[in-house]
């Protein structure tokens, strides 16, 4: 872990990453791709030590509240967060300045901040997004070795629901020849139904591989699934988009199940929901 000073914290769409790099060890991680120009070891977490100061300054200057977001590149609940509590401070600022908040994580450490998440949701809007890739905890520990296993994430989703905080699940990535089977997708969807998630984001059954992430993924295949790298290379070559041979049937099943249980499953609709403050609350605030 190392500390840096940064010039800005919020993107044009009010997204932020308080940290760079990750120690979760997920074998498929796209954030390892060289196109992101990370000039330090990926597991050497970069902490933006002035991030909270910059965030408060940015929120103070805003003319109206907005939806803030984090977690697109680095899970905000990586181990250093337990001590540094930068995310918790960001949540406190969001509440103080009347902003909404959405975050993406694979950690049940999110429950540490359930009090603040509730306060934000009561005042404006708060949505927790949770990634689920495999129903089986044993397989999960192989694919995502240093993160909360799926059953613990499911328990977190249930706790968030009980606290009145809406949730969205990312059903991705689904790795061909590893977890692209009906039983796995059905198990994840059953978790989502039980937890009463608001929506499920899915771009298809597959994953993306770019320079940097591809090499790491193949090295992990050699360790965990001998001979599977050869099958990937023979099937996909150097393709960026890796689509499961079962994509059509599994996506059909996915959409059918979501529709049957009134779960949002149109990605554009979900993203609009995630990044827009509720209009009714905005209008009430004006009066």
Q: What is the CATH number of the domain that holds 83?
A: 3.20.20.70
Nearest Cα neighbor of 168 from 249, 260, 104 is 104
pLDDT of residue 284: 40
Whole-prediction pTM value?
A: 0.94
What domain range includes position 261? 2-286
- Residue 2 in tokens: 């190392």
- Residue 224 in tokens: 């965990």
Write out the chain's pLDDT in tens, 287 residues: 999 999 999 999 999 999 999 999 999 999 999 988 888 899 999 999 999 999 999 999 999 999 999 999 999 999 999 999 999 999 999 999 999 999 999 999 999 999 999 999 999 999 999 999 999 999 999 999 999 999 999 999 999 999 999 999 999 999 999 999 999 999 999 999 999 999 999 999 999 999 999 999 999 999 999 999 999 999 999 999 999 999 999 999 999 999 999 999 999 999 999 999 974 444 444 33
CB 265 within 8 A of CB 258: yes
Q: Structural domain tally of the chain? A: 1
With 0-12 / 13-18 / 19 or more C-beta atoms within 10 angstroms meaning exposed / middle / buried, residue 145 is: middle
């Amino acid at each position: 872990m190392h500390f840096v000073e940064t010039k800005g914290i919020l993107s044009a769409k009010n997204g932020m990453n308080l940290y760079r790099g990750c120690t979760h060890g997920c074998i498929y991680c796209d954030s390892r791709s060289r196109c992101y120009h990370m000039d330090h070891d990926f597991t050497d977490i970069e902490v933006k030590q002035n991030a909270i100061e910059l965030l408060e300054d940015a929120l103070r200057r805003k003319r109206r509240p907005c939806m803030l977001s984090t977690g697109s590149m680095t899970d905000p609940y990586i181990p250093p967060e337990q001590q540094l509590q930068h995310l918790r401070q960001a949540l406190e600022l969001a509440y103080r300045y009347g902003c909404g908040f959405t975050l993406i994580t694979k950690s049940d450490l999110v429950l540490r901040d359930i009090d603040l998440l509730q306060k934000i949701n009561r005042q404006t809007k708060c949505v927790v997004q949770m990634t689920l890739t495999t129903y089986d905890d044993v397989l999960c520990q192989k694919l995502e070795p240093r993160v909360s296993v799926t059953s613990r994430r499911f328990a977190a989703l249930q706790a968030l629901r009980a606290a009145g905080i809406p949730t969205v699940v990312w059903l991705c990535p689904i790795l061909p020849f590893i977890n692209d089977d009906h039983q796995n997708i059905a198990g994840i969807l059953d978790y989502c139904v039980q937890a009463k998630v608001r929506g499920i984001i899915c771009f298809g059954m597959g994953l993306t591989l770019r320079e940097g992430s591809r090499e790491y993924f193949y090295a992990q295949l050699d360790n965990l699934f001998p001979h599977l790298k050869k099958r990937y290379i023979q099937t996909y070559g150097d393709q960026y988009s890796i689509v499961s041979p079962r994509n059509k049937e599994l996506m059909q099943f996915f959409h059918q199940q979501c529709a049957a249980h009134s779960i949002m499953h149109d990605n554009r609709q979900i993203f609009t929901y995630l990044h827009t403050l509720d209009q009714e609350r905005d209008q009430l605030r004006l009066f």
